[in-house]
Every structure is written in structure tokens, then in C-alpha cells.
Copies of this chain bind each other. A is one copy, B any other.
Amino acid sequence: MCQLLGMNCNVPTDICFSFEGFSARGGKTDHHSDGWGIAFFEGKGCRLFLDEKPAIASPVAELVRRYPIHSTHVIAHIRKATQGEVALHNCHPFRRELWGRYWVFAHNGNLPDFDPENQRFFQPVGNTDSEKAFCVILETLRRNFPDGKPTLEKLYPVLRKITENLNSIGDFNYLLSDGEHFFAHCSTKLSYIVRQAPFAAAHLIDQDMTVDFQEVTTERDRVAVIATTPLTDNEVWTQIPPGDLLVFQNGFPLSIDERS
């Protein structure tokens, strides 16, 4: 299994603090040491850092921990290989272009014996169940909306339906974003926290590190952090109910009425 980390904010924010704790799970406080990756959206642009080395030993992860990249949509992943060998081409997040936008996807779980028919548009480069599932998602979206990205109202039920189908095969927690919308699906385990004014101090579980968010934020900032398991031990995280597909926007999950 693997672990997921996501961030969605109303203003570009760096993820250094959360990534510090998260990346410690890549070989130090936990055993997810078969590679890692992180994607940052900056407008329509997208930076993707990947490494098949454990996150705690990777010079690229060191850069991400130290260099504050400001982004509104971030997806990160540390890998414990279940399907597919330890290799760069099997590191999450995966990225493809659809409708003139980059789409980024990371998966936690396992889809046993998952062997979808060859897709017409999107083909996996590696050999993980996760990348195959990502290709199925994009393929289905493209087939349903060949002319361009639809409204969230139209997109959401189609994505929910594909997600349910894939989730019936096995564990299928995932984060998915195109830099505009941010989707988080809980199959078995996924939590989130929304930080907003009044901000307080937060202390990491995986490292003895505290940040007082009051010192580094303004009153209107709002940041949602989504993770397989909570990253801090002095805040209340919300567990997403299994089967729920949340849509985050401006640092907050949309209500059911807003998303469909």
C-alpha cells in the first residue's frame, strides 16, 4: 500500500510543513520506501517531481522540503509497491493531458487482477494497477465529453460512476486534479483538515516540528490538507466516509448540492 497527501487552497501556499512529516513516512517513520512523487499546479502549468528512491533519501525530496513552491493544488504520494516493480515509470503521481489541461492522479490501494482492455486514447507507460485505473478514468471522461471539459455538475456524476466501478474491484483511495478541480475519493482510508482563521500552531506526528500558522498566514487564507492518515497530533482531522468522492475548491470541500 501507499500513502497520499493532497493540498487545496484559496491562495498559493507552500506544502513544506506537511511534506516534511509525510516524506518521513517514506522510509523513516513508516515503510513506504519504493519511490515517491509530488505534483504542483501553478495556473495551468504543472511541476512534477518523481524519484524511485525512498523519500527520506532522495535529493529531489530534499529540494521539495526546503524550497517553498507556492501552489493551490498539490498531490503527493509515497509508494509501497504492490503491483509493478520499483522504477521511475511506476512512481505516482501520473500525469496526462486531457481537454488542453494537465490531469494528475495518485492512488492508494490495490486493484487485484485489474486488466482493462486496451484504451483508445490513454495507455499506461508503466505496469501498475494505478496508472491503468487513471487511464480508464480519463478515457471514460473523454468519451463522455469529447468536445471539452464540461461543468462540474456534468463531470461529477460520470466520475463518481467510474470510481464506483473501479472501487468494486479493490481498494481505491485516490486524489485527482487538473489544477481547477480537486477530487478526493475515500475507499478505505482518507482524512482531511481545513485550516482557516483563527489559525493556531500545528505539531507533526512524524517529526518533532511545530509551525504556528498564525505567523505565516493572512486572515482570508484557507487551506485543506488531505492525507491517508492525519499528519498532526494536536488538530482534529475529519475522516472521509468510505465511498465518498469529495470535491475541494478554494480550500474547502463542496457540499453535495454544490458538486452535483
Q: How many chain copies?
A: 2
User: Judging by beta carbons under 8 Å apart, are B45 and A89 in contact?
Assistant: yes
Minimum Cβ distance to chain B for residue A68 (Å): 10
The 8 A CB mask of A89-124 against B (1 = contact, 0 = none) is 111000111011110000000000000000001111
Q: Which residues of the partner chain B approach A122 to less than 8 Å between Cβ atoms?
A: 97
A52 to B49, CA, bound (A): 15
Sort A-B residue pairs by CB-CB distance and give the 9 closest, nearest first: A45-B88, A45-B89, A100-B123, A44-B89, A59-B67, A42-B88, A63-B63, A44-B125, A100-B125
Residues of B within 8 A of A45 (CB): 50, 52, 87-91, 125-126
* CB-defined contacts of A44 to chain B, threshold 8 Å: 89, 125-126
A60 at the interface (CB under 8 A from B): yes
- Chain B residues with CB under 8 A of A102: 125
Q: How far is the CA of A63 from the CA of B49 in the complex (A)?
A: 12
Residues of B within 8 A of A158 (CB): none
Which label, helix, strand, loop or mixed, suits the secondary structure of the A interface? mixed
Q: What residues on B are CB-neighbors of A157 within 8 Å?
A: none
The answer for the CA separation of A148 and B37 in the assembled complex, in Å, is 28
The verdict on A162 contacting chain B, using a C-beta distance below 8 Å, is no
Q: A88's contact among B47, B50, B121, by CB below 8 Å, is which? A: B47
> Nearest CB to that of A90 among chain B residues?
B45
- Give the residue among A63, A96, A99 with the most B Cβ atoms within 10 A: A63
Chain B neighbourhood of A48, CB < 8 A: 48
Residues of B within 8 Å of A124, CB to CB, are: 100
Partner of A63, one of B50, B59, B97, B121: B59
A43 lies within 8 A of chain B by Cβ: yes
Using A63-B59, A67-B59, A97-B96 as known contacts, say yes or no to A88 and B123 having CB atoms under 8 A apart. no
Q: List 6 A-B contacts (CB under 8 A).
A: A42-B89, A44-B89, A45-B90, A46-B88, A48-B48, A100-B125
B89 touches A43 (CB 8 A): yes
